[in-house]
Structure 1
Amino acid sequence: MEFRLLQAHEPLPMELLLEADPSERLVRTYCAVGWCMIGEQEGSVIGVCVLLVLSDSTIEIKNLAVAESFRGQGYGRRLLQHALAEALHRGFQFVEIGTGNSSMDQLAFYQKCGFRFHAIDSDFFRRNYPEPIFENGIECRDMIRLRYTINN
């Protein structure tokens, strides 16, 4: 997989972005102010990662998704590692990511990649999404925020 920043004139890979965040309105909002990195293989976009600066020391991964047919093959880890390297290159100390309380696979994945629990934004999904979201038989209500310390 090769990585690059999506250029302003290129369309967003919306179908892929919506796999990680079902709100097109929110996706368009943070993509407009963040950096959208894509992972390509043989000219096709197979992964996407959106980074958003939170402060001088902290950047957030707002969206991370891999096309369904490429999941479970290490592409998500490579995309995440590229995002961490980009954060290091740009001088950030912390990388944060948020996911739902019901996102068991994502919570395990981020911890395996070195992220630690940092905070909980209670009822985030109820406040920001018009319809309830269910995953793994659990209502997705709270945003679990995880943090990675660069050069930990």
Structure 2
Amino acid sequence: MEIRGLTPGEQPPWDLLLLADPSRDMASQYLEEGLFYIAVSDASETLGVIVLLPVGGHSIEIKNLAVAEPAQGKGIGKSLLAHGIQVARKKAYKTIEIGTGNSSINQLALYQKAGFRIIGILHDYFLKNYPEPIYENGIQCRDMIRLTMCLSNETKEKL
């Protein structure tokens, strides 16, 4: 497997982007300014995607992280997450953030195992920002759980 940026003229894998964010309008907004990477199999099949977006002077946010359903549970999400963290460090960001739904149980576990810490909850975020109800794991996705990871020792001391 290789993780790489999109080549000129290559279309983003909308099927994967919409797995993590069911709003094409919202995804389109961060695609224009974000750093976009895909995980590609040896057979040139797109397995996953990660999009990072600078959100302030020293912080970058993972706006989208998705793995194709047949490829889930094989470490691809973990590899994409590690790649995103590595990119953020190389670009000298001090923190990396991510938000996910209260119903995203597997994603919450993945992010915390990678070192992210919960810093807040945006109550009713998905009810206010998405026209259709979202369900995962038999749970309605209502609230956004916000997580962050410190990438520099200076930032760690302040938290």
How far apart are residue 8 of structure 1 and its match? 5.0
Matched, 1:25 2:30: no
Matched, 1:128 2:132: no
Q: What does residue 6 of structure 2 align with?
A: 6
Runs of 5+ unmatched residues, structure 1: none
Give matches, 1:32-71, under 5 Å.
Answer: 32-42=32-42, 43-71=44-72
Cα-to-partner distance string for 1:80-139 (whole Å, 9 max, x where unaligned): 001100000001011101000111111111111111001111111011100111222222
Cα-to-partner distance string for 1:31-77 (whole Å, 9 max, x where unaligned): 11211111111222111000000012110000001111111111111
How far apart are residue 151 of structure 1 and its match? 4.4
Q: What does residue 102 of structure 1 align with?
A: 103
Identical aligned pairs, as a percentage? 50
Code of the residue aligned with 1:98 in structure 2: it is G
Query: Number of residue pairs matched?
Result: 152
CA RMSD of aligned residues (A): 1.2
Question: TM-score normalised to the size of structure 2?
Answer: 0.91
Are 2:51 and 2:64, in contact at CA under 8 Å, matched by a contact in 1? Answer: yes
Question: TM-score normalised to the size of structure 1?
Answer: 0.94
Runs of 5+ unmatched residues, structure 2: 154-159
Code of the residue aligned with 1:30 in structure 2: it is Y
Q: What does residue 116 of structure 1 align with?
A: 117
How far apart are residue 20 of structure 1 and its match? 0.8
